[in-house]
Structure 1
Amino acid sequence: FVFTKKFFSSEIRTKSNSDATSGTSEVEINESRDRNTFDQIFARTLSLLLEQLENYLFNCYDCLALLLMIKVTHASRRIMHYDRKIRVLDNFFHRVTMLLWPRLKMVMDAQLRSVRNTNASRLGGIELHPHYISRRYAEFTCSISLILNKGNAVGGGGGA
């Protein structure tokens, strides 16, 4: 987008003032033209990315991977939109988010159903060590907590 903005800015600057007198500002015209140029160049690539993501999500049952993809998408969208003021990818990021959230909900619901429907008597006898289901649940919740807290330390554990 930065390339197209720099490349086509000379063409936009030399246009006549007829557009400015029609009531639309030059900035709006520039953004519209930049968006159209970007769409013409990258539409097929972005469509391919969305298609590949859909294909991946169809067989993805990893809650942590989905949550990480949502966090990365959100961070990328925030950087592009607010820090760099590049808004042409907003629609793409929105579509990616709309693919990820429903899949995360479906996978989490499946996980919860699995835990609820588990027969406790078939999971093994009483041992001195923590049960493997308890350990896996603790690891899962800790991972989610770390992802949601941006990797900051959770709890009051020591550290240097």
Structure 2
Amino acid sequence: MLELESAIFFTFKSLGREKIPKIIEYSLISRTEEFDIFNLGFGTYNKFERKVLDGEVSNNGDVFKVFNTILSSIPLFFSLEPNALLMISGSDSGEQYVSRCRISCTKNCDGLCRNENRRINIYKKYVEKNYDSLSGAYRFFGSRFSWDEQMTFEPFQIGISYRSIFIKKI
């Protein structure tokens, strides 16, 4: 783990069919009077470009180990930034993603893109499944976009579709 001015990184290797370097990046995206807001980013680490490739899907056969590694970093993050608000969203959400996906899609989606929102839905399902045990340590909020594309922010509710999930340590 290394800490920079505006980001905290955790690195590990995906050990499925190949050894793939992965990185979890908690980047500072905004400061308010109450707290700093960080975004959780994750992806393959490209050491030559020194950046996180969050749009790649490696299909390395160890998705549950990788997901649990990401989740295990959240308490570590809050131990370093106890007053932060953490935002989780998917790099596969939104119109730009859908436009890029349609170029090389092999699923022949009619209408709705089947790949859109997969990542945020994984986190949402995890929170829903474990809400009772997690809510003793964390507060959860969901955000959606309203009709005029303004972000709304509300207490997390099971069964609601969100574009982002926010987590605050109690």
TM-score when scaled to structure 1?
0.27
TM-score when scaled to structure 2?
0.26
Larger CA Rg, structure 1 vs 2: 1
Report which structure shows greater RCO (CA 8 Å, sep ≥6): 1
